[in-house]
Amino acid sequence: MQKVDITKMNENVFTKIGKQWMLIGATKGEKSNAMTASWGGLGIMWGKEVAYIFIRDSRYTKELVDGSDKISVSFMPEDKKNVLAYMGKASGRYEDKITKSNLHMIEGYDIPVFEESELTLICKKLYAQDMKAECFIDEAQIEKWYGDNDYHTMYVVEILEALEK
């Protein structure tokens, strides 16, 4: 893994997040877990390079994210798409997804940094806000996405380090 300057990334962020997908990883105490995410963004906030992450209330990963200061955002190679599909369906609440998917966490980090990841962002939480029905300007989104009341929390996280394989 080598450190790279994330501002020099010249890939299309819509493809990277929306089509390649990412893994949101977190560790709380002895527990590490990761889940697939394809909604979010990369940008600038408060003069810092940040990622915007959206995690629904029901996700086990949310418990770990809320219980730690840092998270990782990992982009996997195309041949790990099946792993991402699994990580986006099973829950770490019931099984050890990282072991089952044969991903390897690199030692020495306090959050999941995977050997298999092409690009890993080590991030520090700056801001978290629960989405609420009354805040939607386009109310059609409530019916479309939140019929079960399982709202997202938005996290703005500072990208402290970008590591490339």
Ligand X SMILES: Cc1cc2nc3c(=O)[nH]c(=O)nc-3n(C[C@H](O)[C@H](O)[C@H](O)COP(=O)(O)O)c2cc1C
Binding mask 88-127 for ligand X (x = CB under 6 A): xxxxxx---x------------------------------
HSE-CB of 12 using CA atoms within 13 angstroms: 5
Residue 3 or 11: the one with the smaller Cβ distance to ligand X is: 11
Is the sign of the CA dihedral 112, 60, 40, 101 positive or negative?
A: positive
Q: Tell me phi and psi for residue 38, to 5 degrees.
A: -130, 10
CA distance 79 to 142: 35
CA distance 98 to 62: 16
Distances (CA, A) of 88 to 27, 61, 129: 17, 11, 22
165 binds ligand X (CB under 6 A): no
**Which C-beta is closer to ligand X: that of 81 or that of 165?**
81
- 38 or 68, CB closer to ligand X? 38
If the CB atoms of residues 1 and 52 are measured against ligand X, the closer one turns out to be 52
Site for ligand X in 16-55 (CB under 6 A): 21, 33, 35-39, 54-55
- Bridge partners (DSSP) of residue 115 are none
Residue 5 C-beta: closest distance to ligand X, Å: 26
Q: If binding is defined by CB under 6 A, does position 72 make contact with ligand X?
A: no
Q: Is the dihedral of CA 16, 17, 22, 25 positive or negative?
A: positive
Residue from 20, 25, 42, 56 touching ligand X (CB under 6 A): that is 56
Residues that bind ligand X (CB under 6 A): 21, 33, 35-39, 54-56, 59-61, 85, 88-93, 97
